[in-house]
């Protein structure tokens, strides 16, 4: 359709990413699946794709249209689950890939969900708060035909937060004529949200990093850490790394790249971002060039921004021991091979950033039972699920002599495709 990311742009061979990366990851795991590989095509075809028009009246009286999506990649193991992204670069292709990674992530962690994802292509910072509310509500109403507490449960992702989820919950509830808390997760605590949900993705990134470090003799204590992205994932992960004695030596957000060899004061950096919206102008570090950032000598490198950031060229330049994927899809398959050849351990997104959806699962369970757990209980259960999944994946990687990503995909694809086979094809 257009230059801004057309409806069916995933069919355009020139604009295949990141869905093409997801397909390549699936192709790589297929030979490890034995007879279940006969079902592999299931994972290369999203079950259901919904494209919606989201029109609103802007504050100045004009009418604006936005394009939104909800993709249910696979529902074999349970209702769809995955976030909603508000970002100017959202395309159907991207939402498809993100929904596929949710299928893998949920299955790798053993959560009783399929995989889904949604998004709207716009910059949430370019509209007023009332406009943002109207966009969110109209989008929710449009995708209302496919979501629901036992059908598909959205959550926050890049550009969305607790307020977005409150509006989504309210809109869905108005449409069904009741209060449906379980239709979204990542809600404010007062509306049935879960303690610990906001920090869960960053906390999980830390657990994954710690577990990886323990196994290759790279403890967090005293480790040099580099974080790309300083939002809800990168910001919290950086904070927990520093609370546990690591030295965060460099940070990058959408506006700037900064470094401080002595270690950045993370609470001060977070306070600066809360006040100014970005790291730009933060006094506790000096500016660093993009090239230097990717070449920093560090124990843990945490890409926690968007897809496709670790390119082959960057993978050749990186001097990290462990890459912990806080973002979804930050490493291209070609870059993944280079990191692997260079003996840089990669803890894949589907394991490393699964803390968020794991606590979303807890939130959903708490909403169903209307019985709420303490923050300690949440964090303990999160740690147990993450460390168990890590250990199982690590063992399998050793046994099969494959990467951690391939091992996580083997575990996940086996679970999804075994469910597919047991359920059988309808009709």
Give residues in contact with ligand GLU (CB under 6 A): 81-83, 155, 157, 185, 328, 353, 356-357, 360
Q: How far is CA 97 from CA 156, 183, 328, in A?
A: 17, 22, 9
Residue 172 or 294 having the CB closest to ligand GLU:
172
CB-nearer residue toward ligand GLU: 104 or 258: 104
Residue bearing tokens 């007062």: 190
- Whichever of 78 and 259 has its CB closer to ligand GLU, that residue is 78
CB of 191 to ligand GLU, least distance (A): 16
Task: Report the candidate in 89, 98, 141 with the shortest Cα–Cα distance to residue 117.
Answer: 98
Question: Which of residues 18 and 318 has its CB atom nearest to ligand GLU in the complex?
Answer: 18
Count of CB atoms situated within 10 Å of the CB of 49: 17
Q: Rank residues 5 and 159 by Cβ distance to ligand GLU and give the closer one.
A: 159
Provide the CA 405 distance to its chain's centre, in angstroms. Answer: 15
Q: Helix, strand, coil proportions of the chain in percent (round to 5)?
A: 50, 15, 35
Residue 262: other Cβ atoms inside 10 A: 9
* Beta carbon nearer to ligand GLU, 18 or 242: 18
**What SS3 state is found at 353?**
coil
Return the closest-CA partner of residue 206 out of 186, 179, 233, 169: 233
Q: What are phi and psi of 299, to 5 degrees?
A: -80, -45
Cis peptide before 112 (omega within 30 of 0): no
Least spacing, CB of residue 379 vs ligand GLU, in Å: 16
Between helices 197-215 and 355-369, what is the axis angle to 10°? 140
Residue that has been written with the tokens 């003799």 in this structure: 217
Task: Give the nearest distance from C-beta 80 to ligand GLU in angstroms.
Answer: 9
Query: Minimum CB separation from ligand GLU for residue 350, in Å?
Result: 9
In order, the DSSP letters of 170-212 are HHHHHHHTS--GGG-SS--GGGT--TTHHHHHHHHHHHHHHHH
How far, in whole angstroms, is CA 394 from its chain's centroid? 21
- State how far the Cα of 361 lies from the Cα of 356, in Å rounded to an integer: 9
105 in catalytic set: no
For residue 258, the cross-strand partners are 251, 287
- Taking CA atoms, 263 is separated from 139, 234, 271, 353, in Å, by 42, 16, 16, 24
* Residue 411, token pair as written in the block: 């575990």
Whole-number Å distance between alpha carbons of 326 and 355? 10
Q: How far is the CB of 274 from ligand GLU (least distance, A)?
A: 21
* Smallest distance, ligand GLU to C-beta of residue 51, A: 20
Indicate the residue among 19 and 39 with the shorter CB distance to ligand GLU: 19
DSSP 386-412: HHHHHHHHHHHHHHHT--HHHHHHHHH
Least distance in angstroms from the C-beta of 7 to ligand GLU: 23
Strands 84-87 and 115-121: parallel
Q: From CA 186, how far away is CA 198, in angstroms rounded?
A: 7
Chain position whose Cβ is nearest to ligand GLU: 83
Least separation in angstroms between CB 354 and ligand GLU: 7
Catalytic residue among 81, 105, 117, 247: 117
Nearer to ligand GLU, 293 or 409 (CB): 409
Residues marked as catalytic: 117
């Amino acid at each position: 359709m257009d230059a801004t990311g057309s409806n069916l742009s995933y069919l355009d061979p020139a604009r295949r990413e990141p869905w093409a990366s997801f397909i390549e990851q699936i192709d790589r795991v297929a030979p490890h699946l034995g007879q279940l590989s006969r079902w592999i095509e299931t994972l290369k075809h999203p079950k259901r794709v919904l494209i919606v028009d989201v029109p609103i009246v802007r504050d100045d009286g004009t009418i604006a249209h936005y394009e939104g999506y909800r993709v249910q990649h696979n529902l074999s193991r349970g209702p769809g689950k995955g976030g909603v992204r508000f970002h100017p670069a959202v395309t159907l292709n991207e939402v498809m890939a993100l929904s596929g990674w949710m299928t893998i992530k949920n299955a790798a962690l053993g959560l009783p969900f399929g995989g889904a994802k949604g998004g709207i292509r716009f910059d949430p910072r370019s509209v007023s708060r009332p406009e943002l509310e109207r966009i969110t509500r109209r989008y929710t109403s449009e995708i209302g035909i496919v979501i629901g507490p036992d059908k598909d449960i959205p959550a926050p992702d890049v550009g969305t937060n607790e307020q977005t989820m409150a509006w989504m919950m309210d809109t869905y509830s108005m449409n069904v004529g009741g209060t449906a808390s379980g239709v979204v997760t990542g809600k404010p605590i007062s509306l049935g949200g879960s303690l610990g949900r906001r920090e869960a993705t960053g906390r999980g990134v830390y657990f994954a990093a710690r577990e990886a470090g323990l196994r290759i003799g790279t403890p967090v204590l005293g480790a040099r850490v580099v974080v790309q992205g300083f939002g809800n994932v990168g910001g919290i992960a950086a904070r927990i790394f520093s609370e546990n004695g690591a030295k965060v030596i460099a940070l990058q957000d959408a506006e700037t790249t900064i470094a401080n060899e002595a270690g950045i004061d993370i609470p001060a950096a977070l306070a600066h971002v809360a006040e100014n919206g970005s790291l730009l102008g933060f006094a506790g570090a000096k500016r660093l060039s993009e090239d230097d950032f990717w070449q920093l000598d560090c124990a843990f490198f945490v890409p926690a921004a968007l897809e496709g950031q670790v390119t082959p060229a960057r993978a050749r330049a990186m001097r990290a021991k462990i890459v912990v994927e806080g973002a979804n899809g930050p490493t291209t398959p070609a870059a993944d091979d280079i990191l692997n050849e260079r003996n840089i351990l990669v803890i894949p997104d589907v394991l490393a950033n699964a803390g968020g959806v794991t606590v979303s699962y807890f939130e959903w369970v708490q909403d169903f039972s209307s019985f709420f757990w303490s923050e300690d209980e949440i964090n303990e259960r999160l740690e147990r699920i993450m460390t168990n999944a890590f250990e199982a994946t690590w063992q399998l990687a050793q046994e099969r002599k494959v990467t951690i990503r391939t091992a996580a995909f083997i575990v996940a694809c086996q679970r999804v495709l075994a469910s597919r086979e047991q359920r059988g094809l309808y009709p």
